[in-house]
Structure 1
């Protein structure tokens, strides 16, 4: 089993940095380019996270609070979007037990956490921070449980080094049922020799999953049939996402966070998620390698992971808010 360090994240991110300029050239001009200086209003347009926290994932539910996972020790930090103030609600399991992606359920009772290289899935009580369920030993030695999306009947997790997803069944109350099931990926799925799958979302019609594939066709989006694992490449009209990380789907508008590019590409999808058109590219001078995105009101919040910086206990991290397109 690989032992996680943020250096490993920085390494695979910087491997893609050399391709970033070429990727932008391949993309060509989009329908619009947005340079977001921060959303208006009285709520802060950015706020600090604890020094040394090393954030990656973000989750926001129905209430104006954001939850962030730590790559350093798996802790979860809860922040008020109204004030920017927050606190650690889950201490994590320590070194080697990171939290990469995370999602909150609709009842705002549980957080579902991806354990990265520790090959874990954890479920945490939102109110108390207590560890409710803990699944270990997923996949292979090289497995990295990366991102997660919740559907009415399951929580789905990506594996960045194996061509498979993990399905954790949920009952009507959102309670996990049994152990995670491995769903092999087939069809158009291309597994690279290194990091491949990243962010995951659900199509607008609810019938399929969308998964970032950083390798296939120079980086693209895959539509995955949850019943079979069959993947079909989504026609993005020439848009390449070799550094695609978190996905945020609002209606039929998909926000693709391209971390080391310091940009968010905005795509208008059809309901089935089979094709899309790039409509905007969001850049912001405050971006410091953002990784994931979540929405509240007319804003989108992104944690800066700073993968180009060697993490220390005093490294500063923050969250920035941008306007929705």
Structure 2
């Protein structure tokens, strides 16, 4: 396991397309998929937040309570804890085609890379030394990128040839995105053309494009916003944004259509469900989307039940 210090740097490479997190195409048909459980029960008291899917029909869900990782088989709904957490949060997460799980560490200000087969920690990175909230992560072909809801920066882990780096880089955010009270930069995704990143600001509901220098530009949503914006997922030019509803009790999965550069977007629809109970993030498998119910407005106890729910991809 590696522990490293942060090093300041600027964004030096052009972003490219995202590594698919839903695993290989495989042979699962839509007819087979309808037989998969629509809910994944989690251990009582687990306090889920982030989710990643793949390779294959497996979901990995992280615990805000202690950083443990639960692996669920989408075909049966059954699962087990494969990684016992360090006592600090596991928030946003993504898997790559090498079977590695990249995990944002929340208030610990760190990131971990976990082997999805064994649960072993392959590397650990201390991204921030002061107050921080490392909230979400996205993988591009050349790097892993982490948001910080407390500090106006992105953290970049370069992945040359897929190799885990010895150090991390800090990209200072400038431009339209300014930090205020509450949760700031949260969910993160690439732009459709792969030349930038998209970041949602939870406390304002605004969406921003982040350019190569870290300069941000507000995305024109034509009068719309993403209140309580949380996890993001891009498929083509369609962006799925989770509005967790923690302040307005109106949880939704919002579907947006973007231009290639990610500078202009329009809300197509909002999907609401009585099965949503403050969902936080979203991941895809075939024609389904899976959302963990974080239940932020429910007092957590060791006996509190939790789950992740599946919906048809809008």
TM-score of the superposed pair, with normalisation by structure 1: 0.83
Residue 41 of structure 1 and its aligned partner are, at CA, apart by 1.3
2:23 alignment counterpart: none
1:202 alignment counterpart: 190
Residue 282 of structure 1 and its aligned partner are, at CA, apart by 0.1
1:127 matches 2:120: no
Residue 131 of structure 1 and its aligned partner are, at CA, apart by 0.8
**For residues 155-194 of structure 1, what are the structure 2 equivalents within 5 Å?**
155-172=144-161, 174-194=162-182
1:243 alignment counterpart: 228
Aligned-partner Cα distance in 2 for 1:58–1:159: 18
Structure 2 gaps, min length 5: 1-31
RMSD of the TM alignment (CA)? 1.3
Q: Summarize the Cα distance change of 1:271–1:256 in structure 2 as closer, same or farther, 3 Å threshold.
A: same
1:151 alignment counterpart: 140
Q: Could you give the per-residue CA deviations for residues 239-265 of structure 1, whole angstroms, max 9, x where no partner exists? A: 111300000111111111000221111
1:265 alignment counterpart: 254
2:61 alignment counterpart: 68
1:45 alignment counterpart: 38
1:111 alignment counterpart: 101
Residue 193 of structure 1 and its aligned partner are, at CA, apart by 2.7
Aligned-partner Cα distance in 2 for 1:91–1:190: 36
Match among 93, 112, 116 for residue 102 of structure 1: 93
2:26 alignment counterpart: none
Q: Could you give the per-residue CA deviations for residues 205-234 of structure 1, whole angstroms, max 9, x where no partner exists? A: 11100001134xx42110001x31000111
Aligned-partner Cα distance in 2 for 1:105–1:246: 18
**For residues 211-222 of structure 1, what are the structure 2 equivalents within 5 Å?**
211-215=199-203, 218-222=204-208
TM-score of the superposed pair, with normalisation by structure 2: 0.86
Aligned-partner Cα distance in 2 for 1:271–1:82: 35
1:169–1:178 contact (8 Å) kept in structure 2 = no
Indicate the SS of the match to 1:146. Answer: strand
Residue 62 of structure 1 and its aligned partner are, at CA, apart by 3.7
Q: Could you give the per-residue CA deviations for residues 264-310 of structure 1, whole angstroms, max 9, x where no partner exists? A: 11101111111111111100001000000001111100000000111
Question: Runs of 4+ in structure 1 displaced over 6 angstroms?
Answer: none
1:253 matches 2:238: yes
Q: Could you give the per-residue CA deviations for residues 31-86 of structure 1, whole angstroms, max 9, x where no partner exists? A: xxxxxxxx971111112111111000000124111100000110100001111000
1:262–1:290 contact (8 Å) kept in structure 2 = yes
